[in-house]
Amino acid sequence: MFKLVVIDDVKKARDVIYSIVKKYCKSIDVVGVADGVKSGIELIKTHKPDIVLLDIEMHDGTGFDLLNKFKSIDFKVIFITAHEEYALKAFKFSAMDYILKPIDADELIAAIERTENDLKQGSLQNIEVFEGNYLNNNKELKKIILRTLDCIYAVKIKDIVRCEAEESYTTFFLNDGQKIVISKPLKEYDELLSSYGFFRTHQSHLINLDYFEKYKKTGGGYAVLKDKSSVPVSSRKKEMFLQTINQL
């Protein structure tokens, strides 16, 4: 069984999580609960859990304050947060698991199951990237976590030139010539990156407008980027794309 602790300064949230996990997560042993940063640190040191359900904002500090007290983090973290659009983007960019308040039983169970699978596979988390994304609303600092079968990459958004889809895979082309292939559809990254200067020119192509160089009308229309790659612009996207580049 995996050991789990709950750290949240709201008693109702702690009680709800405890009851759901005890009832539905049979391979999880809830070994303790805490109501803040100080008590949470002691709880983790005492029980050495595999999974920590951790509130971000507490009365005596933040979840990051707690995590920063450990030289190495040898447990998986599932963050607990109130709904807030920017926080949710930070979670998605950083590939971190989270549950929203008020606690939904199905979401909590699913998050724990994903974390159990990660533990069995030995997958790592990049909490430093999440902390940077959460605390700094700054394009120059923001990173995205890209997971392949072999590696976990922390990539600066400003270094992504373009993304290209092939079936259910997405290839990221970086400004240093590196290519990273992810087993997720382009639609998922379009939703994440569209507010950071990316434009989907075609069903299979998403470009970073910072790397746009010129638009050619021949061959149905295509964009040439600073790395000299050419990306088609579909007929239904053309008008919006031309309006967008005229505003650059």
CA distance 105 to 99: 10
Residue with tokens 């990221």: 172
The pTM score is 0.74
Q: Quick one: what percent of the chain has pLDDT higher than 90?
A: 76
Residue 148 C-beta-side C-alpha neighbours within 13 Å: 12
Residues spanned by CATH 2.40.50.1020 within the chain?
156-246
Tens digits of per-residue pLDDT, 129-169?
Answer: 888 888 775 555 589 999 998 888 999 999 999 999 999 99
Q: What is the pLDDT of residue 134?
A: 82
In the CATH scheme, what is the code of domain 156-246?
Answer: 2.40.50.1020
- The CA-based diameter of the chain, rounded to the nearest angstrom, is 68
Residues spanned by CATH 3.40.50.2300 within the chain?
2-135
Q: What is the pLDDT of residue 116?
A: 95
Task: Looking at the structure, give the CATH architecture of the domain made up of residues 2-135.
Answer: 3-Layer(aba) Sandwich (3.40)
Tens digits of per-residue pLDDT, 76-132?
Answer: 999 998 867 667 778 888 888 999 999 999 999 999 999 999 898 887 777 888 888
Amino acid (1-letter code) at residue 134: Y
